[in-house]
Amino acid sequence: MNAPLRELVDLYAPSREATGKDWDSVEHRLGTELPRDYKDLIEAFGAGLFDSHIWLLEPQCENQSHDLEFDNDGSMDDLEDFWEMGEEKPAELDEFGSKLISWGGTPSGEVLFWLVRPHQDPETWTVMINESRGPRWEHLELNCTEFLSSVLSGRVRSKILSSRLPTPEHEFRPFGTS
């Protein structure tokens, strides 16, 4: 277990049993490998909400609104449409073949993406955040578990995510719990 995931497990004490996801099938449907840290994160937590602020998407989730594959079906095309209509495209996507894959978000509508560049190892994907219903983007040179552990502990502050992070009490609510 990597250090950022260990920190998240220590902060949130997830009670999930490993699901044994068929990652090969998931990756085949997505058309790309996924980072190991994300797979380990999903095995530890599954889809759910960190500190009432950050949703984690999971492949093959019962609820499509929390499903990684469903959330990414056509989303890059939708972003390209916005950019063609004049919204500014993030400079990080200037390299031909670069794309975004969403892996999380917030209840208020911000979206967390991996920045995927051509021929880049998934282990080196970093985080991009798009503000809710707006053109602002933020790029953080962190993988998803580094991002979560850093933002939720307060070591890193996002310019886009809620200023109420970090919260004084930590809670992870798995999908399907009230």
Q: Under a CB-based contact definition with an 8 Å cutoff, are residues 45 and 66 in contact?
A: no
Q: Quick one: average pLDDT of 118-134?
A: 94
Q: 125 or 72: which carries more pLDDT confidence?
A: 125
Q: Quick one: average pLDDT of 136-156?
A: 96
- 84 vs 77, 89, 93, CA distance in Å? 10, 9, 14
Identify the pLDDT of residue 177. 60
SS3 91: helix
Identify the pLDDT of residue 76. 80
130 has which bridge partners? Answer: 111, 137
User: Can you give the pTM of this predicted structure?
Assistant: 0.92
CATH number of 3-174: 3.40.1580
Q: Under a CB-based contact definition with an 8 Å cutoff, are residues 99 and 76 in contact?
A: yes
**137-140 and 172-174 strand pairing:** unpaired
Distance CA 105, CA 45 (A): 15
Residue 178: which pLDDT band, with cuts at 50, 70 and 90? very low
